[in-house]
Amino acid sequence: MSIALLPEALRRVLEDLERFPGIGPKSAQRIAFNLLTESPAFLTKLQNDIGGLLGGISKCQNCGMLTDGNKCKICIDSMRDKSVFCVVESSLDIIAIERIGEYRGVYHVLGGLLSPLDRVGPEDIGISVLIDRIDADKPREIILALNPSTEGETTALYIKKIVIQSNPDVVITRLAQGLPTGAALEYADDLTISHAFSGRRTLSR
């Protein structure tokens, strides 16, 4: 189908949808044509819901998780063990880990992973924010739940090196290698994540 034949409003929606990862032209067409069959009430709701993303979402001032307040729901939960930090690449990784319901500590979201080739350095991913928090809160364990890619390994080793300089007694662990190399945590199945956590290995000491 040549989309030039379609009405302008529909073409614009197709272009918007194709920006998303995993959505090619065919998926975009399927979603857009489905939207056309939806009720005006639903389309208005969708419009409002997407509009709600504008200005309504920020990062937790404590851990960097997405939130609609100053602090995220995990940081304000008094039942969480504040002495265990789990360091992840993005808020999506927290959702994947929380889905299993076994981890009771808190998190820290980096702003990405170190990648010297792409000129992504420690300041670009907020390493100093993490170090400040560790120095202040003195956790007993830091779990590096970073993906097993080259960037994930580089970032884990860098964090370990910096953290033990000022916190020689903290236990630093890395998730077990159950995850396929390069696979994102957010796509791993529950059992794989559960095994990766229970089989985590110690990097420090």
Contact residues toward Zn ion (CB under 5 A) are: 60, 62-63, 65, 72, 75
Q: How far is the CB of 115 from Zn ion (least distance, A)?
A: 25
Q: How far is the CB of 29 from Zn ion (least distance, A)?
A: 39
Pick between residue 94 and residue 185 the one whose CB is nearest to Zn ion. Answer: 94
Q: How far is the CB of 89 from Zn ion (least distance, A)?
A: 15
Q: How far is the CB of 135 from Zn ion (least distance, A)?
A: 18
Pick between residue 74 and residue 162 the one whose CB is nearest to Zn ion. Answer: 74
Q: How far is the CB of 74 from Zn ion (least distance, A)?
A: 5
Pick between residue 133 and residue 195 the one whose CB is nearest to Zn ion. Answer: 133
Pick between residue 126 and residue 178 the one whose CB is nearest to Zn ion. Answer: 126
* Complete edge-to-edge strand list for the sheet that includes strand 201-202: 105-109, 81-88, 141-144, 171-174, 201-202
Q: How far is the CB of 73 from Zn ion (least distance, A)?
A: 8
Contact status, residue 49 vs residue 69, Cβ threshold 8 Å: no
Pick between residue 32 and residue 60 the one whose CB is nearest to Zn ion. Answer: 60
Pick between residue 65 and residue 127 the one whose CB is nearest to Zn ion. Answer: 65
